[in-house]
Structure 1
Amino acid sequence: MKRSLRSIAAGLGAIAMLGMWSTAAPAAEPVTLGVSIPAATHSFTAGVVWWSEQAKKELEKAHPELKVIVKTSSGAPQQANQLQDLLTVNKINALVIMPFESASLTQPVMQLKKKGVYITVVDRGLTDTSAQDAYVSGDNTAFGRLAAEYLVEQLNGKGDVVVLRGIPTTLDNERMDAFKAVTDKHPDIKILDARYGNWNRDDAFKVMQDYLTRFKHIDAVWAADDDMAVGVLKAIRQADRKDIKIVFGGAGAKGMVKTILDDSNPLIKADVSYSPKFIYDAIKLTAEARLKGEALPAKTIIPSVLITKENAKDFYFPDSPF
């Protein structure tokens, strides 16, 4: 993560706080906080797992009356089952969850809330916000908007674009809606297709292979994730396609930022920040608020920033897992 985002997370002074304070009842002490997150199936979620463990270690050391239980899941059904275990076996009274999927996790989370568990949802929102007390996320609207503005500018307002979306979630919808809100203003920018690559290198490779077969001319690719961008680049290399001018990923993975810094790939010139450290912030904010019997703001949004060669050094952290 870049230095300025680290200071944002530490001081919370530059984080945009939206919404009114929740009226949820104060939690009884001691606090048992469950953390439910996707498994480290790609580099971004590896960062989420790493930051979650960091939060657990630091917070339990600082607060003996706090217990943090981190659970990872490889899919929505497993995550739903783990939520029940966190409630019945671990007796949690607070939960920080990054849902594997939005729709299928909404009711399982709602069941915990009805049992009196304080709920903080992170990143991938639920389809019914009444199931949560607080929401912490990166700026998904800026994530999509900044990518579209960059592509429009680089293509001089004219070109054929293919899109790889993530997993069906509210945040993916926000990103895609923001991207299209920009491109719709430029009728000469044509979105040839937009399909899910599941934030996965192998899936993105297959989607891009299909695009390359179906479309004989592509000017730019919005991969919408740096892992997917890796799969996209592999497919382009194998097909030896020379028409593609730009591949734009997303989230500021260290490998992609290093590529921008070194100017080592002509297709990769920019990215957008979206650090997995928001899970650390969400756990810390939730734990400390519940220990005081307080609630969080209804919504906390952490800004996204366009990464270019001019500022990439501020986003490059070689020791980070992401």
Structure 2
Amino acid sequence: MQAQDAKGSRDGGFAVAQTILTRFGHIDGMFIINEEQAIGADLAARQAHRSEMVITTVDGSPDGTAQLKSQESRIFATAAQNPYEIARVAIKLGLESVGGHEPTPSAVLLQPVLLTRDNVDSYKGWVNK
């Protein structure tokens, strides 16, 4: 299958999902690179009356968590990231680098949170700690 670019958008996710749903009669699951595209793909699946698949994605955005709470949505999980923490760590490392210090360690991993319908109600969302 030729690569398709959904441009990180709902409209793009909708269009690409329509193509995939047309081509394949059964889909077990889709991993979609962000919640905007996943929301578009979910809409395409619902409009096509396709309910067999599970959609998973990444972000933890307000719109994405709302989809997790909806029983109509095919989005069942998202790996929540905190953009405030990502920015805070990036700025800290950038300032250290400008100051002549090599960051230690050279790779910094920030722990995402797996959100599902079972735990989304306890998720605090994107918060600036």
- Short-chain TM bin: 0.7 to 0.9
Q: Which structure 2 residues correspond to residues 180-219 of structure 1 after superposition, within 5 A?
A: 195-219=4-28
**CA distance in 2 between partners of 1:194 and 1:272 (Å):** 23
2:70 is the alignment partner of 1:255: no
2:32 is the alignment partner of 1:223: yes
State the match for 1:308 in structure 2: 116
Q: How many Å apart are 1:310 and its aligned residue?
A: 3.7
- Matched residue SS, 1:295: coil
- Matched residue SS, 1:269: strand
Q: How many Å apart are 1:240 and its aligned residue?
A: 2.5
Q: Is contact 2:61–2:126 with CA below 8 Å preserved after alignment?
A: no
Q: Which structure 2 residues correspond to residues 94-105 of structure 1 after superposition, within 5 A?
A: none
State the match for 1:245 in structure 2: 53
Judging by fraction of residues, say which structure has more strand. 1
Matched letter for residue 275 of structure 1: N
State the match for 2:83 in structure 1: 276
**CA distance in 1 between partners of 2:16 and 2:45 (Å):** 11
**CA distance in 2 between partners of 1:304 and 1:276 (Å):** 11
Q: How many Å apart are 1:217 and its aligned residue?
A: 1.7
- Matched residue SS, 2:109: strand
Q: Which structure 2 residues correspond to residues 54-93 of structure 1 after superposition, within 5 A?
A: none
- Matched residue SS, 2:55: strand
Q: How many Å apart are 1:263 and its aligned residue?
A: 4.4
**CA distance in 1 between partners of 2:98 and 2:19 (Å):** 52
State the match for 1:86 in structure 2: none
Matched letter for residue 259 of structure 1: Q
- How has the CA–CA distance of structure 1 residues 265 and 238 changed in structure 2, closer, same or farther, with 3 Å as cutoff? closer
Of 254, 265, 272 in structure 1, the residue corresponding to residue 72 of structure 2 is 265
- Matched residue SS, 2:22: helix
- How has the CA–CA distance of structure 1 residues 290 and 245 changed in structure 2, closer, same or farther, with 3 Å as cutoff? closer
Q: Which structure 2 residues correspond to residues 168-187 of structure 1 after superposition, within 5 A?
A: none
Matched letter for residue 247 of structure 1: I
Q: How many Å apart are 1:239 and its aligned residue?
A: 2.0
**CA distance in 2 between partners of 1:206 and 1:308 (Å):** 25
- How has the CA–CA distance of structure 1 residues 266 and 208 changed in structure 2, closer, same or farther, with 3 Å as cutoff? closer
Gaps spanning 5+ residues in structure 2: where? none
Q: Deviations over 1:185-233 (max 9, x none)?
A: xxxxxxx886442322222211111111111222222223111101101
Q: Which structure 2 residues correspond to residues 108-187 of structure 1 after superposition, within 5 A?
A: none
**CA distance in 2 between partners of 1:318 and 1:306 (Å):** 14
- How has the CA–CA distance of structure 1 residues 229 and 285 changed in structure 2, closer, same or farther, with 3 Å as cutoff? same
Q: Deviations over 1:88-107 (max 9, x none)?
A: xxxxxxxxxxxxxxxxxxxx
State the match for 1:286 in structure 2: 94
Q: Is contact 2:34–2:57 with CA below 8 Å preserved after alignment?
A: yes
- Matched residue SS, 2:101: coil
- Matched residue SS, 2:76: coil
Q: Which has the larger radius of gyration?
A: 1
Q: How many Å apart are 1:241 and its aligned residue?
A: 2.4
- How has the CA–CA distance of structure 1 residues 249 and 222 changed in structure 2, closer, same or farther, with 3 Å as cutoff? same
